Amino acid sequence: MTLKDCRGMPVSYNSHSAIVGMEKAHICAMDFSGDPIGMINKVLEDHPDFVMGHCFKAAWLTQTLETRIYDKLVSTLKSAEALWSKANEREQGHINAIRAWVDGDFFGAVLHWEKVLTRYPFDLLALQLIHLTDVLLGDVVGQRDCVARVFALWDEDVPGYEFVLGFYSFGLEENADYMQAEEMGRMSLAIRSDNPYAVHAVSHVMEMQGRQAGGINFMKDREASWSKSHFANHLWWHLSLFHLDVGQVDRVFDIYDNSLRTAQQTADKYEELDAAALLWRLKLLGVDVGDRWVSLADKWEPSAADTLYAFNDVHAMMSFVSDGRSDAAKTLLSANERHIHHATDANTAMSREIGLPFCLALQDFENEEYSTCVDRLLAVRYRTHRLGGSHAQRDIIGWTLLEAALRAKRFNVALALANERCALKKTSVQNWQYVARAHKGLGDINKAKKAEARAQSLMAG
Ligand SMILES: [Fe+2]
């Protein structure tokens, strides 16, 4: 007998309670609460032949992108593969996707999940995995269109619709359709006010549109719910970006020290990533961050030779160069060089095209070889989406380039870049101060004063 899940998707395993147990774990994976892996482990203890349960666990583990999780991922995949003959077509599609992922073919994994989703448009796990993997891979259009392909079939009567709205909101935002993105995000929050992914998508809209005061209010109004979620660190990071943009450095330190920083090594690399991304931005502004790099570099150092995900490596590199850990930086660079010469997986291309050049540019910056840093980043700046992450996260590359251009005294380049940033976001104190510094460097004091006045008036509120 074939059972169905709450969205009518066929499940080969003949236990209603096992399916319900998996669905509960999946909700936690979507709203960033509880312990989805612990929950599915409990289900699998009683139901070791539950293929879809193994598929769910392995699929969710793919998203960690960490070597310390890798063994668990592989053994879960093997458990699913051992049950291949009992699996239905949908479950076999998931197994194929996870196998491709473990073999390093992230793009192939997405293709397998897309095949599942096309045949089973209410397979929320497949949709989630495609969307999140597209974010990791920097497939900007895919993040939106994977949802668009099935969205018309969904409505509020299908359980989990609010999560689909959240995915769509973020995909639309990354493709600069801010109005529709905000609408989808707010619709999601109207159904589930504590959906951190929808809060996140709307905060991205506000970040890109330069709505700092609105962004701070939006985040603070909902802080009680998102700050308890597993997505809290990244959302604190977003809140700190709004404050940073209007020059409120004290607030940024307050968030870093009391909310964002994690005291111990966590099971989540994304937390360390946000911390590094924030400290590097403060460094670019010339702010003294004290000894905050030390504990962060301690956390990154064990994964210096991982080469599992280029996006992680660049944030590790920020910590190593900033804390003067030249040995760890050397380990990371040589591991990356070996990786791009010998490996053929999806991360190889990301590392070769963007990850390694950016890591070297970070080293140039730290060594005060600013002009080399500029040349390295100018060459890749319009391809940086290949590194993965969001526009807001990758903004650190353009920001590093601009600061390096100023310090290299290449003021024409700096003015062009600063004008570009201002055109995209006129409400940023930092952007106007960059314009002012570039004009000053070129000797145009009047224009420098005007730009500085814009910055001061924005800072005053
Ligand atoms: Fe984000």
Per-residue confidence (pLDDT) for residue 267, from 0 to 100: 46
> What is the reported pTM?
0.94
In a domain, 55, yes or no: no
Are 28 and 40 contacting, i.e. CB atoms less than 8 angstroms apart? Answer: no
Ligand 1 mean position, distance from CA 75 (Å): 31
**Ligand 1 ion: Cβ-proximal residues, 5 Å cutoff:** 390
Pick from 118, 46, 109: nearest CA to 73:
109
Ligand 1 mean position, distance from CA 152 (Å): 26
Q: What is the mean pLDDT of residues 227-237?
A: 92
Ligand 1 mean position, distance from CA 199 (Å): 10
Number of structural domains, the chain? 1
Pick from 237, 307, 308: nearest CA to 272:
237
Are 454 and 428 contacting, i.e. CB atoms less than 8 angstroms apart? Answer: no
In a domain, 215, yes or no: no
Ligand 1 mean position, distance from CA 200 (Å): 6
Pick from 295, 290, 249: nearest CA to 275:
295
pLDDT at 333 over 50: yes
Per-residue confidence (pLDDT) for residue 446, from 0 to 100: 97
In a domain, 436, yes or no: yes
Pick from 173, 174, 125: nearest CA to 150:
125
In a domain, 443, yes or no: yes
Are 424 and 178 contacting, i.e. CB atoms less than 8 angstroms apart? Answer: no
pLDDT at 366 over 90: yes
Q: For residues 86 and 92, what is the distance between their CA atoms, to the nearest angstrom?
A: 9
In a domain, 449, yes or no: yes
pLDDT at 264 over 90: no
Residues 6+ apart with CB under 8 A from 307: 313, 335, 336, 338, 339, 343, 347, 351
In a domain, 441, yes or no: yes
Please give the residue range of the domain that contains residue 430: 420-460
In a domain, 31, yes or no: no
**pLDDT tens for each residue of 398-413:** 999 999 999 999 999 9
Per-residue confidence (pLDDT) for residue 263, from 0 to 100: 57
In a domain, 323, yes or no: no
Ligand 1 mean position, distance from CA 412 (Å): 31
Backbone dihedral angles phi then psi of residue 11, each to the nearest 5 degrees: -125, 130
Pick from 400, 404, 435, 430: nearest CA to 419:
435
**pLDDT tens for each residue of 50-96:** 999 999 999 999 988 777 788 999 999 999 999 999 999 999 999 99
